[in-house]
């Protein structure tokens, strides 16, 4: 056995990160994914009409947003943004420091929310904020002087600006739980939700899609001009939503923001459809089925947002909005991309195996456990569908079943990740041709 050369030589000054950096973030995301569903299972009664406040539904929400979405976004951006900026991350130590602050911080924050232990919540929030500030500095340093892919870089800047809003409003909201009110709670929540979901996570998801979708489809880069148009519309949408959150003609500006958001998404999805249609790898398998579903949920989230803004006479609409935007779009998208990117990265760092006179690194498909992914696919979609029904029907029993399905899916996803890590260190065979997934 010998190690792939890249595994030895990865250094801080290079664009090839050591595997421990992205995988610690992705592994933590897989664990917090499980925690999110379990937290929902603990208090299913309070979830169907959840509208804020301490408790396990809030913990589930933050295990999902901070623990899975932001964790994945940090890991993926550290790995992918240097491709766009043509600049290395610069330091192998800082991402590790960020992880050591962030992962325990998320656990403390969410557990503090779930148990109502405000001191624990405050301690966790401080660690999370410190980690996110350090990440923001790392991101800014990478974006300053970026040389390539201006559209992706622009999305990175918008995500960074949104992250600053998210951190400021998170501090304000956490402050209210320990008796330190700074800005009006409703304003803080409105800014926090929009800039966390569509700003930080959304702009990273849209921007990094211009890298990963053409990469996996082997297509040409999406056209620059429409991509810039999509970006400008998305920034306009965020700006309008931000002004509306401050109380300036909120209904009108929110409607305009949603219209701009829909236009931005329409242009972006048109570019993605072209990339998938013209790419040399058309059959991208189960993961891209999830990506397509996530895109549909992104559109649906804006439609549901419109219904929320105009007070449509439907029960649990705000909860339904949170479900569609966080579960349907962002969580589905993050898990879909993770199941492509984990084996791909693992194959770059895998141990070679000597068999039958050949010494070859394993292929990504040889590192992929297909059955857990199939189970996750079914459970994830069933859980989200059932949750939507549960919210509409205000049914705690349906939430419970959905959370159990989600837990099973999260366990399966965790198994996929663990198998990939184990096979990266000890591949079962040199390669498993003939069993490869669509790639």
Which residues lie near other proteins (CB under 8 A)? 4-6, 9-11, 13-16, 83, 86, 147-149, 211, 214-216, 218, 220-221, 280-281, 344, 347-348, 358, 360-361, 363-365, 431, 433-434, 436, 439
Distances (CA, A) of 143 to 153, 309, 354: 6, 35, 42
Nearest CA to 56 out of 48, 67, 46, 71 is that of 46
Give the span between the Cα atoms of 183 and 237, in whole angstroms. 23
DSSP string, 302-362: HHHHHHHHTT-S-TTHHHHHHIIIIIIIIIHHHHHHHHHHHHHHHHHHPEEEEETTEEEPP
Which CB atom, from 240 or from 276, has the smaller least distance to other proteins?
276
CB of 146 to other proteins, least distance (A): 12
Q: Give me the DSSP letters along 128-172.
A: HHHHHHHHHHHHHHHHTT--S-HHHHHHHHHHHHHHHHHHHHHHH
Instruction: Pick the closer one to other proteins by CB: 129 or 373.
Output: 373
Q: With respect to other proteins, which residue has the nearer C-beta, 195 or 216?
A: 216
Minimum CB separation from other proteins for residue 220, in Å?
Answer: 7
Closer to other proteins by Cβ: residue 86 or 426: 86
Instruction: Output 179 or 357, the one with its CB closest to other proteins.
Output: 357
End-to-end CA distance of the chain: 27
Q: C-beta of 288: minimal distance to other proteins in Å?
A: 14
Residue with tokens 């804020």: 52
Q: Which is nearer to other proteins, 313 or 434 (CB)?
A: 434
- Smallest gap from Cβ 270 to other proteins, in A, equals 18
- DSSP character at residue 87: -
Q: How far is the CB of 217 from other proteins (least distance, A)?
A: 10
For tokens 């300053």, name the residue.
144
CB of 16 to other proteins, least distance (A): 5
Nearer to other proteins, 13 or 179 (CB): 13
User: What's the closest the beta carbon of residue 328 comes to other proteins, in angstroms?
Assistant: 28
Q: How far is the CB of 4 from other proteins (least distance, A)?
A: 5
Q: Where are the alpha helices (DSSP H) in 48-149?
A: 56-62, 71-85, 93-115, 118-143
Q: Identify the CA nearest to 322 among candidates 157, 179, 198.
A: 198
Q: Tell me how far apart the alpha carbons of residues 391 and 167 are, in angstroms, rounded to a whole number.
A: 29
18 sits in the region (left: phi over 0; alpha: psi -120 to 50; else beta) called beta
Distance (Å, rounded) from C-alpha 103 to C-alpha 29?
9
| Rounded Cα distance, 248 and 269, in Å | 31
CB of 3 to other proteins, least distance (A): 10
Give whichever of 188 and 366 is closer to other proteins, judged by the CB atom.
366
CA-CA distance, 105 to 76, in Å (whole number)? 19
Quick one: 65 or 368, whose CB is closer to other proteins? 368
Q: Smallest gap, in angstroms, from Cβ of residue 421 to other proteins? A: 18
Which residue, 358 or 425, is less far from other proteins as judged by CB? 358
Distance CA 291, CA 294 (A): 5
Q: Do residues 130 and 174 touch, judged by C-beta distance below 8 A?
A: no
């Amino acid at each position: 056995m010998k190690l792939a050369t890249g595994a030895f030589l990865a250094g801080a000054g290079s664009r090839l990160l050591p595997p421990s950096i992205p995988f610690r973030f992705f592994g933590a995301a897989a664990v917090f994914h499980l925690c999110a569903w379990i937290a929902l299972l603990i208090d299913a009664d309070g979830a169907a009409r959840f509208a804020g406040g301490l408790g396990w539904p809030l913990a589930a929400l933050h295990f999902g947003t901070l623990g899975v979405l932001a964790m994945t976004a940090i890991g993926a951006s550290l790995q992918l943004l240097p491709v766009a900026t043509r600049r290395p991350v610069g330091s192998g130590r800082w991402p590790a420091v960020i992880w050591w602050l962030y992962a325990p911080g998320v656990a403390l924050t969410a557990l503090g929310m779930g148990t109502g232990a405000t001191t624990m919540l405050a301690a966790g929030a401080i660690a999370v904020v410190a980690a996110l500030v350090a990440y923001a500095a790392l991101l800014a340093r990478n974006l300053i002087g970026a040389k390539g892919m201006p559209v992706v870089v622009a999305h990175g800047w918008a995500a960074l600006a949104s992250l600053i809003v998210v951190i400021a409003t998170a501090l304000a909201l956490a402050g209210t739980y320990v008796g330190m009110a700074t800005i009006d709670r409703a304003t803080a929540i409105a800014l926090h939700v929009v800039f966390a979901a569509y700003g930080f996570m959304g702009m990273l998801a849209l921007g990094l899609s211009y890298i990963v979708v053409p990469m996996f489809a082997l297509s040409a880069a999406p056209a620059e001009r429409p991509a810039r148009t999509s970006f400008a519309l998305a920034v306009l949408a965020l700006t309008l939503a931000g002004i509306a959150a401050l109380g300036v003609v909120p209904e009108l500006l929110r409607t305009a923001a949603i219209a701009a958001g829909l236009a931005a998404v329409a242009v972006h999805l048109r570019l993605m459809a072209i990339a998938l249609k013209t790419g040399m790898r058309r059959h991208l398998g189960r993961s891209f089925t999830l990506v397509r579903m996530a895109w549909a949920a992104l559109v649906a989230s804006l439609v549901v947002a419109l219904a929320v803004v105009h007070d449509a006479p439907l029960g649990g609409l705000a909860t339904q909005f949170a479900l569609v935007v966080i579960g349907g779009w962002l969580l589905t998208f993050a898990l879909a991309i993770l199941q492509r990117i984990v084996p791909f990265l693992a194959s770059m760092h895998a141990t070679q195996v000597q068999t039958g006179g050949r010494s070859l690194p394993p292929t990504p498909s040889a590192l992929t456990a297909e059955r857990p992914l199939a189970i996750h696919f079914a459970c994830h979609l069933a859980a989200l569908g059932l949750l939507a029904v549960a919210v509409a029907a205000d049914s705690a029993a349906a939430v419970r079943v959905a959370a159990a399905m989600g837990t099973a899916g999260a366990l399966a996803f965790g198994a996929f990740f663990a198998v990939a890590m184990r096979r990266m260190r000890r591949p079962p065979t040199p390669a498993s041709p003939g069993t490869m997934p669509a790639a």
